[in-house]
Amino acid sequence: MIDPAGQTVPQPKWWAPLLQSGASLAVRYALFAAIATGINVGVQALVSAAYHGLFQLWIALLCGTAAGIIPKYLLDKRWIFADPSAGVICHARKFTLYTATAVATTLSFWAIEFGFDSIGGREHWRYVGGVIGLAIGYWAKYHLDRQYVFGTRASSESRTPGR
């Protein structure tokens, strides 16, 4: 499309309406949390199937957590907080802060997963606890990230999902 001055006007992307409402923010955050949860729990299951030695659960937890955090950071940065910052130094700083908030929320996630593992008697209860722990952790993480990681650059729609 060309404007009256003869300049090309970029067309809105097909996904632009998805970025407009608080409800869509909640849906996107839930979708991204589900994707990261799937990656996390899937990697845990793969590690648990492949390794049966000492500290199996700890190794599976660490691998799952590491696998889930990178895609979640990239999705949150772009689609939740609309953070336009770029550059290696900026990404390193924000990813460090993002990881720090993840450490706090991961401790709660692990506590819930270990609790389910100890009372369940079957491996699938550990995964149930993991999913519950991740849901609680992501809720808390959104609020921490909004304030401490992306707070100064968060878009006007970056408010509590669902409100």
Long-range contacts formed by 59-67: CB under 8 A, 24+ apart: 61/110, 61/113, 64/39, 64/40, 64/130, 65/40, 65/102, 65/106, 67/39, 67/40, 67/43
What are the residues facing 2 on neighbouring strands?
8
127 contacts 45 by C-beta, under 8 angstroms: yes
Q: Above 70 in pLDDT, residue 21?
A: no
Task: Output 12 or 50, whichever has higher pLDDT.
Answer: 50
Of 102, 160, 111, whose CA–CA distance to 132 is shortest?
111
Question: What mean pLDDT is reported for the chain?
Answer: 82
**Residue range 83-138, pLDDT digits in tens:** 888 889 998 999 999 999 988 888 888 889 888 888 876 778 888 888 898 888 88
**Residue range 53-70, pLDDT digits in tens:** 999 989 998 999 899 999
Helix (H, G, I), strand (E, B) or coil at 118: helix
Task: Give the residue extent of every domain in the chain.
Answer: 22-149
